[in-house]
Amino acid sequence: MAPPHKLNSPTGNSSVTSQAENGFISSYSPFSEKAVQELLQLPIQGSDDHLIEFSESLRTVAKTLRKVAEGKAAAQAEAAEWKRKYELERTRNLQIENKGKSCLEHRADLDDVKTNNSAKQTTLYKVEANGKSEECYSRNGICSHDVLRDGNPHSDSKMLRKASFKLQWCCKGEQSDQHKHDIVSFERGNITTAERSSKQISLKWESSPQTVLILTKPNSDSVKILCAEMIRWLRQHKKLQVYVEPRVKVDLLEESSYFNFVETWSDDKEILRLHTKVDLVITLGGDGTVLWTASMFKGPVPPIVPFSLGSLGFMTPFYSENYKECLESILKGPISITLRHRLICHVIRDAAKNEFETEEPILVLNEVTIDRGISSYLTNLECYCDNSFVTRVQGDGLILSTTSGSTAYSLAAGGSMVHPQVPGILFTPICPHSLSFRPLILPEHVTLRVQIPFNSRGSAWASFDGKDRKQLAPGDALVCSMAPWPVPTACHGDSTSDFLHSIHEGLHWNLRKTQSSDAPREA
């Protein structure tokens, strides 16, 4: 065996050798503190080269440690996502087991079928035998099953069967989606859908309205005067009961004791029952007043008549100067309305045990915004659509908007203007760190999940219609879907004409001078 290598220390001591467990000889040189001090005091030739090599080695080690840390964070995020999917799948399986069989088992049995064809017999939900037919209907789906015969039904020719199928809504549960069954129909296996987005919705009173709620823009003297005049007219000429906010009733009683008949509420519990008492809601203000009105109702919303008293309005088509004529027509009916869809948002914290352990849901009429707040780092958001990965957002933030909010923050961030009755969710990035990141429009039935990954540099902030700001830490998630309670707003003309009028007057959309016609004609 070769002799061990020796390394002489500055003090002249020989190195101590040791034999490793694998049979190789390794050496090390222990130094005392005195020897180290003497070594530092001696001039070393080529120290610059050694320092450069040492710094490069440290840089390499730092890069390796950074990659290890990033890999660990990515692994933790992936493990958390798999855990979330596992718990969600387990919960769904338990619900399916508790729910039992939702479709009735068909009761038709064929007695005159040959035994050699019985093994190849396809289960039929509609069988014609002896002049009688038995059908199978699904409680949660739509079935279409027919038997088509070639030629004479009494002949022995081969039967041509059209494949049977069933359509079933399965996105958010049977309770919230049962109302969709009226837009899909079938006949002999042909699927047709109703063009509901292109049809104007009309509201006709079956009985005359009895109670009206008036909500006003605060801190405006002109609005106070108009509110008092409108209440007098509704009481004297229409014999209606009027509800107002507590602060408005205080102002009315300070003006005159005549307004003692006006009613209000004292706590939040009465607000939750307000939709059971009020037939019609009148707003005096701008779009902000309409947003405030929508936020008051956590469930169903009565029809809203918005009067324009603000600086810019896309949801306020009525003018206050003609409020008597407008209210006469609306109270008489029928009236055209626009169903403005809302988003219901849930914040799920990292410490939550399952998907159902969420904070109180928040309803938004315009949009929910996730931004970086005061942080100087870009937002890092992982976005999923019905548990399918969409993209990772790196930029200033993300906007999830309704079609009613398409002319608000989403439009300023580069999103498209969408008709308010189009059922969809706008997916608009805010100043993304990628030129190819373009906005999306997703269907109404999807569920969007925006999660802050564990390796995010900072937290994010979520705001709902510009208020109720919440901090989202790494591991937290925001889940958004379409709410089952839209906001019905009355139209001055119809939904389309009001929308086009608002973008023409409010945004001056495509306003330019007409090209002159006296230019020389082309040969």
Q: What is the DSSP letter of 131?
A: T
On whether the CB atoms of residues 202 and 270 are closer than 8 A, the answer is: no
* Distances in whole angstroms, Cα of residue 126 to Cα of each of 184, 305, 369: 20, 50, 51
Q: Which helix (H) or strand (E) holds 402?
A: strand 388-402
Catalytic residue among 111, 112, 287, 498: 287
**C-alpha closest to that of 410 among 438, 372, 375, 448:** 438
Instruction: For residue 287, indicate whether it is catalytic.
Output: yes
Q: Which helix (H) or strand (E) holds 187?
A: strand 184-187
> How many C-beta atoms surround the C-beta of residue 120 within 10 A?
6
DSSP strands (E only) in 228-371 = 241-244, 280-285, 304-308, 318-319, 335-340, 343-348, 362-364, 367-371
Q: Write down the H helix ranges in 1-133.
A: 33-41, 47-99, 115-118
Backbone angles phi, psi at 200, to 5 degrees: -80, 135
In sign, the C-alpha dihedral spanning 335, 338, 339, 343 is: negative
What contacts 112, CB < 8 A, 6 or more positions away?
Answer: 129
Residue 279, SS3 per DSSP: coil
Residue 486, amino acid: P
Residue 221, amino acid: D
Q: Write down the H helix ranges in 197-274.
A: 221-238, 246-255, 268-272
Q: Catalytic positions, please?
A: 287
